Amino acid sequence: MFRYVAAILFGSLLSAPLVAEITPFPASFHTQMVPTNGTRLYVRVGGKGPAVVLLHGFGFTGDMWAPLAIVLAKDHTVIIPDLRGMGMSDHPDTGYTKKNQAVDIAGVMDALKVQKADLVTHDIGNMVGYALAAQYPDRVTRWVVIDAPLPGIGDWDNIVRSPMLWHFDFRGPDEERLVQGRERIYLDRFWNELSADPKKIDEDTRQHFAALYARPRAMHDAFEQFGTLRQDAADNKALLAKGGKITMPVLAIGAEKFFGKNMADHMQFVASNVTGDIVPNSGHWIMEENPQVTIKLVADFLAEASAACSWDPSVHRQQALTQER
């Protein structure tokens, strides 16, 4: 994927942290540590126009969004934080519920003087994204939610019984000792088993993110993201009961070889204006496995607001049903 980015940028790039030869962001982007909600998040900012916030998940950092950021920055102010305790952000001891991390993101928006933004999320980023949209519905204008369910919502209790999700309860001092110095081995399991084609996650990408997850406390705090899932489930149920379904337009994208059309079905439980689509020939790691289609789907959906045009259901998408669950 990073070779794909380099081809687009023709060498005019801003180096990512730690691995100098991987240079995913244009030189027009800048980075800063933003104090928010009792911690500091590492944030990349670039472009000009309406704001869009991109949230990553486990196994990656905000660096994963570089190809999409390049396209969106043409007509958006693109804001890409590393989540609490992940990537280059600080590593507080507590605060890893997704409800609290949504406050982190709202604080980043405040610091950057952004009142409203579109939202694009993947994996654990989806969980933070829902908590943000549910707690601050007036601050999220559109939401693209990609290939991971929300704790406590819909068929969550059966989803978590899947043998593939054993890592949800893999944490603790002994588990950390097992993984320490073997972060690449641990992450390879996710990149390989959750992808449609492991070769699409290339060696440069694997080395880059394995190095970030080998930083002090990085894996501990990654485990903390999963350690709060039971509380996240309770929080999400309470948010839904209190506020009802969110009403901003939602594009629910599933990877063909992973969550698929279930992504749109799942989002019906929490959102009243859901459209679904599929990234073909891809497992869970959509930005690595099929960045071209992912970028087009996201960019076209976000462009609807400024173009004030209706979405064409004949182009790569089926309109999801919005009946009550």
d(CA 106, CA 37): 9
Mean pLDDT of 112-116: 98
Longest pairwise C-alpha distance within the chain: 54
Residue 198 included in any domain: yes
What's the pTM value of the predicted model, to 2 decimals?
Answer: 0.88
- pLDDT score for 159: 82
List of residues 6+ apart from 83 with CB closer than 8 A: 41, 55, 56, 89, 101, 104, 124, 125, 128, 225
- pLDDT score for 174: 82
Residue 325 included in any domain: no
Tokens of 170: 């893999």
CATH code of 112's domain: 3.40.50.1820
Tokens of 311: 């979405």
The total of other beta-carbon atoms located within 10 Å of residue 216's CB is 8
β-pair type (250-255, 274-279)? parallel
- pLDDT score for 3: 40
Residue 183 has pLDDT above 70, yes or no: yes
Domains held by the chain: number? 1
pLDDT digits (tens, 9 = 90+) for 261-301: 999 999 999 999 999 999 999 999 999 999 999 999 999 99
Residue 120 has pLDDT above 60, yes or no: yes
Residue 324 included in any domain: no
- pLDDT score for 312: 45
Residue 125 has pLDDT above 80, yes or no: yes
Residue 251 included in any domain: yes
pLDDT digits (tens, 9 = 90+) for 48-95: 999 999 999 999 999 999 999 999 999 999 999 999 999 999 999 999
- Residue 77 identity (one-letter amino acid): T
pLDDT digits (tens, 9 = 90+) for 133-174: 999 999 999 999 999 999 999 988 888 777 777 777 787 888
Structural domain range at position 217: 2-318
Mean pLDDT of 3-23: 39
